[in-house]
Structure formats: C-alpha cells, structure tokens
Amino acid sequence: MEKDIIAITNNDTRKHILNVNMFINMFVVELLKRGIEHDNTKLKEPEVDVFAEFTPKLSTSTYGSDEYKTFTQQMKPALDHHYAKNRHHPEHFARGIKDMNLVDLIEMFCDWKAATLRHNNGNLETSIEKNQTRFNMSEDLISIFKNTIAIIDKQGN
C-alpha cells in the first residue's frame, strides 16, 4: 500500500513539475518575442531621425541630469510615440508600473541594463534608485530589481 501512495504522489509531483515547466516556457516564449521586437519603432519614423540625433548626445550625459532631461524634452514627440507603442515603458500606461505585467517588468529591467551600457557612467543600481521616484515604485519592487542585478551582471557587460 505504501508503494502505491508513493507512486501516486510521484505521479502527481511529475504532473506538477511539467505544469510549472509549461508555464515557465510560456514566459520564455513571450520574452523571446519581446527580445526580437524590442524598440523596433526606433528604426522608423517618427522616431528614427530623432533617436539618430539624440542617442549620441544621451550617451555622454548622466542619466537623470539636467542635460539628460533637456535632451529628452527636445525628443518629446518621438518619445511620446515610442512610449505609446512599447509597453515595457511605464509611460505606456495610465497608471504606470501599476498596470504592467511581469513580462513588461522583465523587459523594462533588461532595457535599463542595456541603457547603462550606452552611458559612460551607467550603473543599473543607480538607475533603479533614480527611477524609484520617477515611476513611484514600491520598496518591494526596488528590492526585487536590486536582487536581480546579480543575475544580469553574471552574464557580463
């Protein structure tokens, strides 16, 4: 009898493992799709000319600085279009981060990391801290993001 219970429990556990695997793979597929499609709107009008002009300027500025804010203000029409078409930006949603899903957050986090590589003094932890106020992020979410830095930094720059 005890072996039957173990066999049934093991079978239930195997089903559970397969279900978890299936759900994780659903996220993987969506993330792969997001990676392929990420920021494609920057490659065509009305964004391409603006980003071609300002990307080099932004790379020499400090994220969140007055200079950075001046550049982004000058880019406003293109940025408004970009945010409207790309849901990994809190500006896409009426309630910002509160309306995002986990996949949006992962893409946003990866976007922030990639953006740090474009700046001479880019730092993901600093970006997270600056964005806490900008996007009204909870301490819990900030902790989750900071706890995730090691995963993305493990892959190298």
Cβ–Cβ under 8 Å, residues 87 and 104: yes
- Report the alpha-carbon distance of residue 12 to residue 9 in Å, rounded: 5
Name the pTM for this structure: 0.91
Q: What is the pLDDT along the chain (157 residues), one digit of tens a residue?
A: 687 887 778 999 999 999 999 999 999 999 999 999 999 999 999 999 999 999 999 999 988 899 999 999 999 999 999 999 999 999 999 999 999 999 999 999 999 999 999 987 889 999 999 999 999 999 999 999 999 999 998 765 4
Residue listed under structure tokens 């000058």: 74
